[in-house]
Structure 1
Amino acid sequence: MAARVCLGRGQHAVAGLGTVTRASHSAAPRAQYDAVIIGGGHNGLIASAYLQKGGLKTVVLERRHVLGGAAVTEEIFPGFHFSRASYLLSLLRPHIAEELELKKYGLRVFKRDPHAFTPMLEEGVGGRPPRSLLLGADITKNQEEIGKFSKKDAQMYLGFLAHLEKLACAIHPLLDAPPVDVPRIMEGSLRTRLSALNTLRPLIRSGLKLGKNIPDFYELVTAPIMKVLNRWFESEPLRATLATDSVIGAMTSPTTPGSGYVLLHHVMGELEKEAGAWGYVEGGMGGVSKAIAQSACALGADIFTEKSVEQVLVGSDGRAQGVVLQDGSEIRSRVVLSNATAHVTFKHLTPQESLPPDFLKAVDQIDYTSPVTKINVAVDRLPNFLAAPNVSEGVPGPHHQCSIHLNCESVDVLEQAYHDCLQGRPSTRPMLEMTIPSVLDSSLAPPGCHVVSFFTQFTPYSLGGNAWSAEDKQRYAQNVFDWVEQYAPGFKSSIVGTDILTPHDLEQVFGLTGGNIFHGAMSLDQLYLARPLPSAADYRSPIRGLYLCGSGCHPGGGVMGSAGWNSALTVLADMKRG
């Protein structure tokens, strides 16, 4: 049964979203809108808000019972509320949060400090605990921590962070604008060409910001990240900890060319004006989606859950004219925006005869390979790490709020985990990023209990050509928990519930083709002018009036919002031109 998110005259609470209200009397979609958005992920919601601000009556149609796409909160076990897929916030563009007044609509983020904890799997010396690496905002403390492994690296670390921040900040103009409009620059009237030249401005601003650092930027985004890290550092735990951000969510290794860009993508955000900081959203990641939806509703958007789109309507003139829902009903519109992946949009939702064969062939070549299995765990007590023993039972230490990197103290371990997956099997010693958001947000779990998230790599989409069985999933999860047990004895006995999402599960539940959290690999051949394809990099499709607005577009994945913002502005510009 469909659920309307934006209601007047009463309120309707949607699971994982909360209550959203708006002054409207309709409990079902209209037959006609200016814009229809397929999918209620954060980009689709952001696009709806900006289209409404631009004067277009807009509706968002979400097939699931909960809004947010991968940015959702779900109560999987009674009393335990999980950020079931996406689990941290940093990349959300500040101007979007400000313009949509997301704090006014309830967005609150718990900033983590410290933010990274890498315990060693080793015997302590002289009765002391095993060593660990704890990194945060305090540079002096960071240098003390790194100094346990290398005094030289401790001195180099501040320079490395400044270098990385300089490169990341230079990309910001590119995030907030569509890619260069090459077709309009090269074709059309002189007036059209001159107008299209304006799309070069963000690229020029980025170039000017980089200045003499352009060669460094080029190297970082094209080279294996280890080539860069080896030049800066000598200690293995530090290099491996930094290298994890170059492979997180990507089917790549620290020695693969181009892995440096993934690292840059993960440090280009900010939180409370602190560059590179990450945090937990109050109430889970659904809190982001809730705030965006409330803002969009206040602007006049209609938003519905449990409304599955079956097909995009294409008229005899080759223009998108609306959508057909799974129940057979039609909603007509002037434009359609798809928050789904390019594969889902063009291979499943669009009439194949309406698209050029060469374009469909290109869509088939988009890389959606994912190495990720997400495991959400409910526990009845706080983990106790050998490298940082709990001072008092149930009282969190600074390290509990961090991204806890397990099996990440050596680059060789990361490499072996990657190569296991290349052979078509889950890593025997998987890379684990463990987070415990309930340490900072007690509303997520019952008293004394916690929600634990494991972002694990590397796991293949299928095993020997076959789908993962329930036994395969349990076997892999048990291996993960066995490794956690070595770092934090007693963890396995604290588990009261598990939710295991392999790449195939991520695809089925969240519509992430191949299970890829970025809506497509963030490799150099699928960025900027080639994301998701060179012929669709400007958010437009071969069908007039049909646009993409999801993370498969420039500038890519993460809860950033830029794709939704850029797509909406493209639509408004096109409609203004007629």
Structure 2
Amino acid sequence: MTAKRYHVIVLGSGIESLVAAGYLGKAGLDVLVVDGAESVGGTLVTREVVPGYRFDSCLDSPGYLSPAVVADLALAHHGLKYSLGEPLMVAPRPGGPALRLSADLEATAGSLRQASPGDADRWPAFSDRITTLAGLLTDMYRRLPPRPGEGGVGDLMTILRLAARVRRLGRVELMEFLRTFPMPVADLLDDWFEDDLLKGALGVVAVRHLALGPRSGGTAFGLLHQQVGATAVPRGRPIISGGVGHLAWTLEVSARERGVEFRTGTGVAQIVVTEGGTTGVVLDSGEEIPARAVVSGYDVRRTFSDLVDPVHLDPEFAAMAARVRYRGVAAKVNLALGELPDFTGLDATDLRGTVVLCPSLDYLEKAYDHTKYGEVSDRLALELVIPSVSDPSLAPEGGHVLSAWLHYAPFHRRDGSWGESEREAIGDLALRILQDAAPNMANAVVGREVLTPLDLQDRFGLTEGQVYQGEVALDQILFMRPIPGWSHYRMPVGGLYLCGPATHPGGGITGQSGRLAARQLVRDQKKGRGRRAWT
């Protein structure tokens, strides 16, 4: 029996793969999604680790969820419900009033005034400045990045649109944009504020999943990237009803409604390439499935080192692919709790957003100093959420689930790899830090799950534990993402595309990579671009 030949095979069932599959199905193409995991979702998966407690095991937030994707794929129709936690971010202050950052500028100013009247006065201007500058990135992330030197009509139009958008900023804002991009976030925050707790909390946002400290150049861009799509500082985290896995489920239902087929529980062993173009994939079982195009939701290393025979790659391209930086530096701890943490100065209503435990930029920088030498500091910064406050269905009555990212935990350890003892040690360290801020945590923990950077790689396919499939740094964004010269999703192997967060605009901007990759493929199909006719 001859295997069905698909228009497109999508590799992986992470969010960007599901988005790409949905758009391709909507365009009328025959699409098959293949994933070695038993269920869809990739890094967005909600599962029961401790009986009765359901965790967002890896990522606990989709980041900025593109409204266009939600509308185009009718996700609300398929049951997607989400809201922003309010306050957006809080931080307990030992011996003093807690920090509360809210979508309401006056409410935030009122919180800041307790520690620094000057900071309260400056906050509205700072929020407006950061929101304006991040707005420019938001526009850039909605479309294909211009490719310097290409000279195509599409690139020229993108440059003209961008130039018009920049011109509307005005001279002062343009100068601030150019000044801010390469700055260390510590310098930016020191220019504006006095309160160490405020600066520490915002510093954590800026270095999220970066192997950089707050005094490293380019981390102010990290803050802007994490503000894309936001109308307030910091950008709130969408709380998905039923857990982040429900977002994956709605995307799967939407894709199936558009005719997309799924094969889970079987991985891909090889992308088949013949005469410079892909002709399909070979599964781990040895079965070959033909297709006119392959869209990989995997990162550059996994796609081109593991799945494509290097004989089909230009040596220069292969060398650039090998130079993509990953450097995962975060570990994850999920806790099943019998009661809410009793943070100083915070009540249950304050715990709907993000809680940050980082007293200052100096504290965060010292934690990073250890990372440079492949070590884990004994004083980590924690960024945590308690989604059960907003969604009680995630835990038994009276119980809660807590998910915390630990900064920093380098994938590459000087003393070797991550083993069981190192996993338990960093889990214990996280608990000690939590107990310092909320003493009742000593007896509140019912169970836990600890994910080291190595676990993130082995369990979720994240190279070096990097959840963004490559650092979102100044030399790995826009036309340089994933590889300079190949930012438009179409790879040098004919019919092969990338669609994951490894591509423009990068991690934390959910749906945009998949949407843009699918649009590029459909555009190529309509133009008859490539080795084969799309019939």
- Pairwise TM-score range, normalised by the shorter structure: over 0.9
Q: Structure 1, residues 372-416: CA drift from partner, whole Å, max 9, x if none?
A: 00111111111112333x5xxxxxx2222221111x121110011
Cα deviation, residue 209, structure 1: 4.1
Q: Distance in 2 between matches of 1:90 and 1:476?
A: 25
Equivalent residue number for residue 131 of structure 2: 165
Contiguous gaps of at least 5 residues in structure 2? 529-535
The Cα of 1:115 is off from its aligned counterpart by 1.6
Determine whether 1:253 maps to 2:213: yes
Q: Deviations over 1:433-482 (max 9, x none)?
A: 12100000011111111110011111111432521121111111111111
Who is 2:249 aligned against?
290
CA spacing shift, 1:29–1:282, aligned 2, 3 Å:
farther
How do 1:231-310 and structure 2 match up within 5 A?
A: 231-270=191-230, 276-310=235-269
Matched, 1:353 2:311: yes
Please report the RMSD computed on the Cα atoms of aligned residues, expressed in angstroms.
Answer: 1.9
Is 2:363 the partner of 1:363?
no
Letter of the 2:239 partner, please give it: Y
Q: Is the 8 A contact 1:177 1:202 kept in 2?
A: no
- 2:353 paired with 1:402: yes
> Which deviations, in whole Å up to 9, do the C-alpha atoms of 1:262-302 show, x marking residues without a partner?
1111111249x999332211111111111111111111111
Structure 1-normalised TM-score? 0.88
Deviation for aligned residue 1:141: 2.1
Question: 8 Å contact 1:387–1:487 — kept in the other structure?
Answer: no
Show the 5 A alignment for 1:46-61. 46-61=19-34
Tell me the equivalent position of 1:80: 53
The answer to whether the 8 A contact 1:35-1:334 is kept is yes
The reply to whether residue 373 of structure 1 matches residue 331 of structure 2 is: yes
Question: 2:132 is paired with a residue of what secondary structure?
Answer: helix
- Closer/same/farther in 2, CA of residues 86 and 574 from structure 1, 3 Å limit: same
1:142 to 88, 108, 115: 108
Between the aligned partners of 1:303 and 1:434, the Cα distance in structure 2 is: 33
Contact 1:269 1:275 in 2 (8 A): no
Cα distance in structure 1, aligned partners of 2:2 and 2:325: 35
- Contact 2:499 2:513 survives alignment (8 Å): yes
Give the SS at the match of 1:542.
coil
**SS of 2:106 mapped into structure 1:** helix
- SS class of match (2:510): coil
Structure 1 distance, partners of 2:107, 2:509, is 30
The 1:29/1:52 distance shift into structure 2, 3 A limit, reads farther
CA distance in 1, matches of 2:189, 2:49: 40
Displacement of 1:29 = 12
Change beyond 3 A, Cα 1:475–1:338: same
Task: Find the aligned partners of 2:465 and 2:154 in 1 and give their Cα distance.
Answer: 39
Aligned position for 1:228: 188
State how far apart, in whole Å, the 2-side matches of 1:287 and 1:81 are. Answer: 12
Question: Does the residue aligned with 2:464 lie in a helix, a strand or coil?
Answer: helix
Is contact 2:381–2:406 with CA below 8 Å preserved after alignment? yes
On the 8 A contact 1:417/1:429 being kept in 2, the answer is: yes
3-state DSSP class of the match of 1:104?
coil
* Separation in structure 1 between the aligned mates of residue 362 and residue 11 of structure 2, nearest angstrom: 43
The superposition leaves residues 104-138 of structure 1 with CA deviations (integer Å, 9 ceiling, x where unpaired) of 111111321112111123xx3xxxxx332112122
Q: Distance in 2 between matches of 1:297 and 1:179?
A: 30
- In structure 2, relative to structure 1, the CA distance for the partners of 1:210 and 1:410 (3 Å cut) is same
Cα displacement string for residues 10-69 of structure 1 (whole angstroms, at most 9, x for unaligned residues): xxxxxxxxxxxxxxxxxx996310000001011111111111122211111111112111
Counterpart code for 2:350: H
The match for 1:13 is none
Matched, 1:575 2:525: yes
Give the SS at the match of 2:64: coil
CA contact 2:84–2:353 (8 Å) conserved in 1: no
The equivalent of 1:541 in structure 2 is 491
Change (3 A) 1:411 1:320: same
Q: Who is 1:4 aligned against?
A: none
Q: Distance in 2 between matches of 1:218 and 1:509?
A: 40
User: Which runs of structure 1 show a deviation greater than 6 angstroms over 4 or more consecutive aligned residues?
Assistant: none
Following the alignment from structure 1 to structure 2, what is the Cα–Cα distance between the partners of residues 568 and 337?
9
Cα separation, 1, equivalents of 2:131 and 2:496 = 36
In the TM superposition, what is the alpha-carbon distance from 1:211 to its structure 2 partner? 3.6
2:280 to 318, 322, 334: 322
Percent identity of equivalent pairs: 31
Paired residue type of 2:33: V
* Counterpart residue number, 1:116: 89
1:318 maps to amino acid: G
Indicate how the Cα distance of structure 1 residues 559 and 71 shifts in structure 2: closer, same or farther if over 3 A, else same. farther
What's 1:499 paired with?
Answer: 449
Q: Say if 1:110 and 1:440, in contact at 8 Å, map to a contact too.
A: no
Task: Trace 1:437-448 onto structure 2 (pairs within 5 A).
Answer: 437-448=387-398
Take 1:31 and 1:490, find their aligned partners in 2: how far apart are those partners?
59
Match of 2:432 among 453, 462, 482: 482
Q: What is the rounded CA distance, in whole Å, between the counterparts of 2:249 and 2:187 in structure 1?
A: 42
* Equivalent-residue separation in structure 1 for 2:66 and 2:362 (angstroms): 35
Residue 485 of structure 2 aligns to a residue in which SS? helix
Matched, 1:96 2:69: yes
- The residue number in structure 1 matching 2:531 is none
Superposition pairs of residues 321-340 of structure 1, within 5 angstroms = 321-340=279-298
Q: Which has the larger displacement, 239-248 or 88-97?
A: 88-97
Q: Is the 8 A contact 1:29 1:302 kept in 2?
A: no
Equivalent residue, structure 1, for 2:533: none
Name the counterpart of 2:532.
Answer: none
Cα shift readout 1:311-360 (whole Å, capped 9, x = no counterpart): 10101x21111100000001111110000001100000111111112221
The farther-off stretch of 471-480 and 195-204 is 195-204
Q: Name the counterpart of 2:366.
A: 416
> How many residues are treated as equivalent by the alignment?
527
Q: Which moved more, 1:488-497 or 1:512-521?
A: 488-497
Q: Is residue 2:162 matched to residue 1:203?
A: yes
Q: Structure 2 counterpart of 1:451, which letter?
A: V
Structure 1 residues 570 and 182, CA gap change in structure 2 (3 angstroms):
farther
CA change 1:319–1:219 in 2 (3 A) is same
